[in-house]
């Protein structure tokens, strides 16, 4: 696929980039240089480096990291076991299905399940552990976020595991590799692309979560997304909101470049 044949199928994609990516990007960049009264200023950027926003950035990254980590830890075995089942495509579809039910409805269901008199607490009491506050804690926030992102992590990992050539595993076993060695040396490296795609799809949006921070974490967790939401919809300080967005986008590019490099080292 060299030079000239690239052009014809590129047209819609390039058009899409120009219209829906570059234009909004320029708009965001443009707005970030204006204060709330419409004067040109660099004040927004100065404000971003005050402790409030730096703390917020740090905690956003921390929570996004935790969410990605737990999603990966749960998703990888799930995807692996799914590839071993008989009707694997059906089971996979059934994993995705719950995400077609509206997020707000599921959040309301979790409010009920995790509530003081909810199913989770009844369960804990039946176990003899006793009821406790689950709602509006870090635990409930991470649990529900992982719940939401799990299918997005499973899908790419499943696809790369499914592509795995079984003869490679047999070869490894025949050469005396234990299961763990086979996993570490053969399976995991070969599915790394899927893992990376999954991590990108989870980590990047997790940085800017906003709905769940209010519904499930009761605003005990403030992420960059929450702040942008506030600035755009409540304060109408589009300048500050855009500035935070600019930093989010820079962070995203940074992550992409980073994961891109790592791959070259391995292959």
Partner 1 sequence: MKKIRKWPAIYLALIFIILYAPILYLIFYSFNSGGTMYQFEGFTLDWYRELLTDTRLLIIVLNTVIIALLSAAISTIIGVAGALAIAYARKRRVKNTLLSLNNVLIVSPDVIIGASFLILFTMIGLKLGFVSVLLAHIAFSVPIVVLMVLPKIEEMSTSMIYAAMDLGASRFDVLTKVILPYITPGIFAGFFMALTYSLDDFAVTFFVTGNGFTTLSVEIYSLARRGVSLNINALSALLFLFTIILVAGYYFITKRNEKPNGMGVRQ
Partner 2 sequence: MKKLIQALAAVLIVSFALLYIVSGLNSSQGYTSGNTLTIFNWGDYIDADLVKKFEQETGIKVIYETFDSNEAMMTKIEQGGTAYDIAVPSEYAIEKMKEEDLLLPVDHSKIPNLKYIDQRFMDLPFDPGNEYSIPYFWGTVGILYNTDILGDKKITSWNDLWDPELKNQILLIDGAREVMGMGLNSLHYSLNDKNKDHLTEAKEKLDGLTPNIKAIVGDEIRMLMENDEAGIGVVWSGTAQELMWEKDNLEYVVPEEGSNLWFDNMVIPKTAKNPEAAHQFMNFILDPENAAQNTEYVGYSTPNKEALKYMDEETTTDERFYPDEELTARLEVYENLGKKMLAYYNELYLEFKMHKK
Residues at the contact surface with partner 2, assessed by CB under 8 A: 36-37, 52, 55-56, 108, 111-112, 115-117, 133, 135-136, 214-215, 217-220, 222, 227, 230-231, 233-237, 240
Return the one option of partner 1, partner 2, none that residue 122 interacts with (CB less than 5 to 8 A, by type): none
What are the tokens at 110?
A: 């979790």
Strand pairing partners for 34? 40
Q: Please identify, using beta-carbon distances, which residue of 28 and 199 lies nearer to partner 2.
A: 28
The nearest distance, CB 99 to partner 2, in angstroms, is: 19
Residue 62 vs 108, nearer CB to partner 2:
108
For partner 2, the closer of residues 89 and 179 by Cβ is 89
Contacts of residues 41-44 at CB distance under 8 Å and 24 or more positions apart, as own/partner, are 41/239, 44/239, 44/240, 44/242, 44/243
- Looking at the Cβ atoms of 118 and 205, the one nearer to partner 2 is 118
Residue 6 interacts with which of partner 1, partner 2, none, CB < 5 to 8 Å by class? partner 1
How many CB atoms sit inside 10 A of residue 131's CB? 14
CB of 59 to partner 1, least distance (A): 16
The partner in contact with residue 234, picked from partner 2, partner 1, none with C-beta cut-offs of 5 to 8 angstroms by kind, is partner 2
CB 131 within 8 A of CB 125: yes
Given a contact cutoff of 8 angstroms between Cβ atoms, the answer to whether 206 and 70 are in contact is no
Q: How far is the CB of 221 from partner 2 (least distance, A)?
A: 10
Task: Look at the alpha carbons of 28, 32, 37, 41 in this order and tell me if their dihedral is positive or negative.
Answer: negative
Neighbours of 207 (CB within 10 A): 21
Considering the complex, state which of residue 34 and residue 110 has its C-beta at the smaller distance from partner 1.
110
- Distance of alpha carbon 90 from alpha carbon 99, whole angstroms: 15
Residue 225 interacting partner from partner 1, partner 2, none (CB closer than 5 to 8 Å by kind): partner 1
């Amino acid at each position: 696929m060299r030079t000239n044949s690239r052009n014809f199928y590129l047209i819609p994609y390039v058009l899409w980039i120009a219209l829906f990516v570059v234009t909004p990007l320029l708009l965001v960049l443009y707005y970030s240089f204006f204060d709330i009264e419409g004067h040109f200023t660099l004040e927004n950027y100065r404000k971003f480096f005050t402790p409030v926003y730096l703390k917020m950035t740090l905690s956003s990254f921390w929570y996004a990291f935790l969410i990605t980590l737990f999603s990966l830890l749960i998703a990888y075995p799930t995807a692996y076991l799914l590839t071993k089942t008989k009707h694997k495509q059906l089971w996979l579809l059934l994993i995705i299905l719950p995400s077609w039910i509206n997020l707000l409805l599921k959040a309301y269901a979790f409010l009920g399940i995790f509530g003081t008199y909810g199913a989770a607490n009844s369960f804990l009491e039946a176990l003899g552990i006793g009821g406790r506050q689950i709602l509006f804690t870090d635990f409930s926030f991470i649990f529900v976020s992982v719940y939401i992102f799990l299918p997005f992590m499973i899908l790419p990992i499943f696809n790369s595991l499914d592509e795995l050539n079984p003869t490679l595993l047999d070869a490894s076993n025949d050469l005396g590799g234990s299961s763990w060695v086979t996993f570490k040396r053969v399976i995991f490296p070969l599915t790394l692309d899927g893992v990376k795609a999954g991590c990108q799809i989870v980590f990047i949006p997790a940085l800017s979560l906003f709905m769940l921070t209010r519904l499930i974490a009761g605003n005990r967790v403030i992420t960059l997304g929450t702040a942008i939401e506030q600035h755009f919809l409540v304060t109408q300080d589009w300048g500050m909101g855009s500035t935070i967005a600019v930093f989010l986008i820079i962070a995203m590019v940074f992550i992409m470049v980073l994961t891109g490099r790592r791959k070259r080292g391995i292959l």
